Amino acid sequence: MTPLHAVPVILISGIEDEPMAAAAIALQWDLPRAVSVRHVVDPDRDVLWRIVSDATGVVERLEIDVEHACVSCAIREDVVPTLDRLGADGRWETIIAQLPVTAEAVQVCRVIGWAPHEVPHVRIAASLVALSSETLLDDLLGDDLINERDLPVRGDDSRGVAEVACAMVEYADVIAVGDELDDEEREVLAALARPGVPVVESFSQVDARPLEVGVHDHRRNEAWVAEVRREALPDRQLDAAWVLDFESDRPFHPDRLRDAIALLGGGPRRSRGCFWLPSRPGQVCVWDGAGGQLSVGSTETWGNSRPLTRITVVGIDDGRDELEQAFASCVLSDAEMRERGPYWEVTRDGFESWLGQIRRAA
């Protein structure tokens, strides 16, 4: 349980420094008794910068040597400990935390949300993602890699920009962009975001007071970004964008899925969810795609729960119907269910490079 007097933290994440800084300044203007902490990664020198400031000016500015200058290292080694230290200081009512560029707020929220007793002086009040309105659709649906942009990241950071940006939007409590959006941009954000999350089309219009009080609900946020979702999706009433929510209680046929995977995971779309294979009936297979790049993996087992194939896709192109047919063609047919059943005794299925070796035959 979070202590009653824990200092609220407003996290700011994004894929560019300028929108994040603009959002931080707007929050500081409305919260004069807040302290702002900004972490900046310098991957060329394996250095992490920490800058702490409040209404009086810069409180501290420190260069920290880290073995591997990456966002995960920054969060583990300095971001979370610094937040708790600032919360314990007693001088400030709120902490505005600008995370390193491309660092996802979920990483901080999971440390503090699941183990608040280990970070007793702070609580997550809100997670805000700040994005550029000028490049929004490219950032959410384009095929750029993080290390192809002029960003403070390691050269071996091969994450997709869309992968990171979409995940940030999906986890956010507030989405802020720099300028007015068109219908297509607005609907893509609406399709990705958790129901009820506001989209503010000007950094100066972000209302800091409710964020300071607290709008973050860790369990609700985690449920929305979970790989396995069984609840119905909200009806968004979209016109310029579309959502395909493909669901089946049957597994995908490994061969047909492998043959169709370029089509299923390609294109200017965001797709995520879970599936199962008859060759691996115990594994929860995770589907995570954005901007034509797809990651397939496995994180857990089904246990006593019913296996499910459910992949949700958000797009703006004209390929929705073709995509739905392609997904449907990959599940086991009635004849295959009768003749072979949903559980196969095999030692290989062609997904070893993604999912590892088959650990046990069904």
Query: Per residue in 279-294, pLDDT tens?
Result: 999 999 999 999 999 9
- What pLDDT does residue 114 have? 78
- What pLDDT does residue 72 have? 67
- What pLDDT does residue 140 have? 98
Per-domain residue ranges of the chain: 7-225, 242-355
CA–CA distance, 53 with 182 (Å, rounded to integer): 36
- What pLDDT does residue 362 have? 41
Sheet of 309-315, strand order: 242-248, 309-315, 269-277, 280-290, 293-301
Domain 242-355 listed as CATH 3.30.1220.10: yes
Tens of pLDDT, residue by residue over 103-125, are: 999 999 998 887 888 899 999 99
- What pLDDT does residue 154 have? 76
CA–CA distance, 221 with 240 (Å, rounded to integer): 26
The residues of the chain scoring below 50 in pLDDT are 1, 361-362
CA–CA distance, 346 with 173 (Å, rounded to integer): 44
Tens of pLDDT, residue by residue over 192-224, are: 999 999 999 999 999 999 999 999 999 999 999
Residues 6+ apart with CB under 8 A from 185: 133, 136, 137
Domain 7-225 listed as CATH 3.40.50.300: yes
CA–CA distance, 226 with 173 (Å, rounded to integer): 16
Q: What are phi and psi of 177, to 5 degrees?
A: -130, 160
CA–CA distance, 139 with 170 (Å, rounded to integer): 14
